[in-house]
A = this chain, B = another copy of it.
Amino acid sequence: MSQIRTVAIVGGTHGNEVTGIYLLKKWQKDVSPVTRASFSTELVHGNPRAHKYNVRYCDQDLNRQFALKDLNNPHLAGNEQSRAKALNQQLGPKGANPRVDFIIDLHTTTSNMGTTLLIERQHPLYYQLAAYVKQRMPHCIIIRDEDDMAEEDNYLLCTLGRFGVIVEVGPTPQGVLKQQVFEESEQLTLVILDFIEHYNNGTLPALPATVEAYHYVGSLKLPTNDVGERTAMVHSHVDGKDFQPLNPGDPLFAGFDGSVIAYKGEQTVYPAFVNEAAYYDSNGALSLHEKVVLKVEPR
């Protein structure tokens, strides 16, 4: 595998997730924290128009527009569909030989997910990265979902580069800068850059043979009635408790009529994106994950 020569850090893919945008501003003033000897670093504002209006997106969710067939479909001409094509030209083209080798896409969530690294693509490098990150930031959560989608169908921005990951930190309201979220996002980004530098130079430290991670198994929607109105909210037993075990029979939803709706699954799962504001118009309540163990291959 050839080395990583070009890294793009993308902020503001969602226009109201401002932490990444302010990190870019900070690094534009002083690039030294994101500069390493073995690769060049580019700073990319994902969706300036959405940020101008302090919204997640104007027409479509930008981070759902990067499936190859959509990038190649000239009839998709909304704000984010066009922006995706421009980013594909700037960073890609998506496929075997993009210009950018590694994309770090900075996101925040209103959910209490702490500092999370999302691995959405296949390669042994990612598990080495996960192990390296866990060594330096043991509180960092790893989500790996790289087996859920074929690369060409994967609609995430980070798939434009040869490699790509998502940094996801919360909780923070949309449009708000929280110092802790800002600093955690910065630290995880710098640790990823350190990893790439070691990877390029063949100087990776000894890594643990395994890393604990979470794997997406499904999503739950808020209960609704016959006319589509919500009848319940996420129960306080679950809200704010991302990555804590949810057992069969545990309280899951709190009905407006005072009822309690229990989790009816057959095994213990670990919720994430609990009560995320961005998924609210689709009645999305939370995603469910199982614990998995990643096997780290020595480089």
Q: How many residues of A contact B (CB 8 A)?
A: 31
Neighbouring B residues of A25 by C-beta, 8 Å: 229, 256
Contact B233 A110 (CB under 8 A): no
Contact B239 A178 (CB under 8 A): yes
Residue from the list B173, B175, B233 in contact with A182, Cβ < 8 A: B233
**Chain A 121-137 residues near chain B, CB threshold 8 A:** none
* Listed stretches A95-103, A144-152, A273-281, A290-298; interface member: A273-281
Neighbouring B residues of A179 by C-beta, 8 Å: 233-236, 239, 254
Chain B residue at minimal CB-CB distance from A170: B173
Contact B54 A280 (CB under 8 A): yes
Complex CA distance for A75 and B49, rounded to whole angstroms? 31
The secondary-structure label for the interface of chain A is loop
Complex CA distance for A239 and B176, rounded to whole angstroms? 11
A77 close to chain B: CB less than 8 A: no
User: Contacts A54-B281, A173-B277: A26 and B178 contacting too (C-beta < 8 A)?
Assistant: no
Best-buried of A25, A176, A235, A277 by chain B (most CB within 10 Å): A176
Contact A22 B236 (CB under 8 A): no
Task: Give how many copies assemble into the complex.
Answer: 2
A180 close to chain B: CB less than 8 A: yes
Complex CA distance for A175 and B235, rounded to whole angstroms? 16
Neighbouring B residues of A110 by C-beta, 8 Å: 173, 176
A177 close to chain B: CB less than 8 A: yes
Neighbouring B residues of A277 by C-beta, 8 Å: 173-176
A230 close to chain B: CB less than 8 A: yes
User: Contacts A22-B256, A54-B281, A230-B22: A275 and B180 contacting too (C-beta < 8 A)?
Assistant: no
Best-buried of A175, A177, A254 by chain B (most CB within 10 Å): A177
Chain B residue at minimal CB-CB distance from A254: B179
Q: How far is the CB of A17 from chain B (nearest CB, A)?
A: 12
Contact with B along A147-175 (1 / 0, CB 8 A): 00000000000000000000000010111
Q: Which 6 A-B pairs have the closest CB atoms?
A: A110-B173, A177-B233, A179-B236, A173-B277, A173-B173, A26-B256
| Beyond A26-B257, A110-B173, A178-B233, 19 extra complex contacts between A and B, CB < 8 Å | A22-B230, A25-B256, A30-B257, A54-B280, A54-B281, A110-B176, A171-B173, A173-B174, A173-B277, A174-B174, A176-B275, A176-B280, A177-B233, A177-B234, A177-B275, A178-B236, A178-B275, A179-B235, A180-B236
